[in-house]
Structure 1
Amino acid sequence: MTQIPDLPATEGTAGANTAGESHSEALLEDPQFRAAVVDLLGALAYGELIAFERLAEDAKMAPTLEDKAALAAMATAEFQHFTMLRDRLAELGADPTEAMQPFVRPLTEFHERTAPADWLESLVKAYVGDGIATDFYREVAQHLDPKTRQLVQEVLADTGHAEFAVERVRAAIERDPKVSGRLALWGRRLMGEALSQAQRVAAERDALSALVVGGMDLKGFDLAEIGRMFARLTENHVRRMAALGLSA
């Protein structure tokens, strides 16, 4: 994944960043903030575990041996992400299994509702559906302590799935343009399901909800910022659909 390099910090911004990081680290001493961090890591960890399982399952639908091998490599990367999150949870004094448990039912139900019917739908789901979740977690990660934020950003980095999915979906549309309509409808459904899922998961966990709306030290919820966040998620979804050659 191509990333924009960080700008060098000036003396003023460096001091501000240091103060901000110290503040974020101190927040880990707050039980509610710590609970929110554990919730977020638990949701991510279970999501990575499911991604590992799903990629292994998707490999069965892969049309070529090359595709099977590529998905196997991506599945391995997802499991490595899971172990990193599990280790961070343990470092924070949380039981990883207990941290994941609240998210087992909602995430499992989401994947049951959005089970792909074929190879192309699995690719669109991996790119579009997972992309929405990634954007959501990146938004929330802005309010984490520096060490956890860095881990989350590393875990959310593209494992090569984006380019893999885009190339194969666009090639399939070029061979048979009629599939684009079906896949476009599928992508829109994934968008609706993913946004609803994100809202449900956050709403069921009080500490996580506070983190989603801007951090634990804010005075009240910033509903306007929540609206802007979901607008950004929608804009990114439109860009991903366009990259696939599909209308959003």
Structure 2
Amino acid sequence: MNAAGDRGPQAGPDEAVVDLLGVMACGELLAFERLAHDAALAPTIEDKAELARMAVAEFTHFTTLREHLVKIGADPAAAMAPFVEPLGDFHRRTAASNWLEGLVKAFVGDGLAADFYREISGYLDPATAGLVQEVLADSGHSAFAVEHVRAAIDADPRVAGPLALWGRRLMGEALTQAQRVAGEREALAALIVGGSGPDRPGIDLNEIGAMLGRLTAAHSERMAALGLEA
């Protein structure tokens, strides 16, 4: 029996939460790099400045996640390490070749990831769920992307077809990436499919199907907002 006042060894951080925050932190850091790179494709100095502002916001989100990982006793670099390759591969496979593709990716691709993380946040403790919601707050991507993509389509309707194909490709690549990540991280997969830990209700397979339906519907709404067919 422990001596009075001795609570025994401290439990380590929740593995599933560390994985979730790790993949999100890695995603925010890569988003910062991508937006900084895509700023070079922007046609005007004002557009370059706006993308730079968005990049700074993504880095701020990364810093918030990194600090929280430290707070809960996790090593941020170790938490992010498993996701560097799969997320990096996703961005290499979906590298924008022009300004408009970059905007669609920022709006559609990042929006899909944000929807997915919000779905999972409903099964987290309140503090972690609040952090996830804070980090996923729109930093201006949506209105900026919609305004510029719609203006480009109005100026030249021929760009709509290739951009619609690009949006569908992003959806497919994102789902493939999510399956890969979940398949390689047992704790994260358990959180998504059925939860883990006595205090986490989790979700059943029927709910997984419903969640995918919601993600697909949200993707279609974003494509429509851009003036593109899903």
Judge same fold: TM > 0.5, yes or no.
yes
- The answer to whether structure 1 residue 83 and structure 2 residue 63 are counterparts is yes
1:215 CA displacement: 2.2
Kindly provide the CA deviation profile for residues 160-208 of structure 1, in whole angstroms up to 9, marking residues without a partner as x. Answer: 0110000000000000000000000000000011111112111211111
Q: Percent identity?
A: 67
Please name the residue that 2:204 is paired with. Answer: 222
Answering whether residue 98 of structure 2 is matched by residue 141 of structure 1, we say: no
- Which amino acid in the other structure matches residue 146 of structure 2? V
The residue aligned with 1:157 is 137
In the comparison of the two structures, how many residue pairs are matched?
219
The one-letter amino acid of 1:59's match is A
Q: What is the CA–CA distance in structure 2 between the aligned matches of 1:220 and 1:52, rounded to whole Å?
A: 31
Q: 1:100 to 1:149 in 2, by over 3 A?
A: same
**In the superposition, relative to structure 1, how do residues 164 and 102 fare at CA in structure 2: closer, same or farther (>3 Å)?**
same
Indicate if the aligned counterparts of 1:143 and 1:214 stay in contact, CA closer than 8 A: no
Contact kept, 8 Å, 1:51 with 1:75, in 2: the verdict is yes
- Whether the 8 Å CA contact 1:121–1:186 is kept in 2: the answer is yes
Of 229-238 and 213-222, deviating more is: 213-222
TM-score (norm 1): 0.85
Could you tell me which residue of structure 2 aligns to residue 55 of structure 1?
35
Q: Which amino acid aligns with 2:219?
A: H
Q: Does 1:121 align with 2:139?
A: no
State whether structure 2 residue 79 is matched by structure 1 residue 99: yes
CA distance in 1, matches of 2:202, 2:135: 30
Task: Extract unaligned runs of 5+ from structure 2.
Answer: 1-9
* Residue aligned with 1:178, SS: helix
- 1:108 is aligned, of 88, 92, 109, to 88
Question: Are residue 45 (structure 1) and residue 28 (structure 2) matched?
Answer: no
Matched, 1:211 2:207: no
Letter in 2 for 1:242: A
CA distance in 2, matches of 1:45, 1:97: 10
Matched, 1:241 2:223: yes
Cα pair distance change 1:176/1:153, threshold 3 Å: same
Structure 2 length normalisation: TM-score? 0.92
In angstroms, what is the RMSD of aligned CA positions? 1.6
Runs of 5+ consecutive residues of structure 1 not aligned to the other structure: 1-28
